[in-house]
Amino acid sequence: MAIQEDPMNLVISGVGGQGNILLSRLIGRSLVKKGYFVSIGETFGAAQRGGAVMSNVRVSEHMPLGPLIPEGKAHIILGLEPLETLRVLVKYGNPKVVTITNSQPLFPVDVLSRKAQYPDYEALKQTIRGLSQSAWFIDATAMGLGLGAPIVANVIMLGALIGIDLLPLTKGDIEAEIKASFPPDRAELNLKAFNMGTDSVG
């Protein structure tokens, strides 16, 4: 399976503690095993947990690339939090970008302390749709709660990404990487989460 663009630029956005870096590593290792050149760059907000985190994943069949995606050049944005998705979309999106976001907001400290107001969610969704060629909204946090482990929302989102079939990776590629990356009990939970994600876009 060839990549649709070369380079293919994927942005994973969220906040600290949501598991961006795990996703970039699972995706990157899977692509390297299939013979692609992969560059990964991470940017972190002011707080280790709760600050904005963005992972750049760049994929090429022909050459290694710099790790940072140029502004306006993302092909796919995978968002673990809707407001962070929009922030990244405004900077890195373009009329052809495909956006996939977890629909559950994660309120920052200034919102929880009533110093700021979180945007209206429906308006947020409409703005994301308007800035994307296509947009998917996955209730990954609720799905993770259904498994008794909201922490696996990121792996559910990974499943959705693989399910829409824009990367040159199969379900089997990621399942093998999950099995190689976790002890058996955690691998089983993450495999369930991953398959819930792929089913959510089927």
pTM for this entry = 0.92
Give the largest Cα separation in the chain, rounded.
50
Residue ranges of domains in the chain = 8-200
Tens of pLDDT, residue by residue over 22-68, are 999 999 999 999 999 999 998 765 545 557 889 999 999 999 999 99
CATH topology of domain 8-200: Pyruvate-ferredoxin Oxidoreductase; domain 3 (3.40.920)
Specify the amino acid at residue 47.
A
Distance CA 157, CA 163 (A): 10
Long-range CB contacts for residues 45-50, cutoff 8 Å, separation at least 24: 45/15, 45/16, 47/16, 48/16, 49/15, 49/16, 49/17, 50/15, 50/16, 50/17, 50/108, 50/109
Tens of pLDDT, residue by residue over 145-157, are 999 999 999 999 9
Tens of pLDDT, residue by residue over 87-115, are 999 999 999 999 999 999 886 655 566 77
Q: DSSP character for 164? A: T
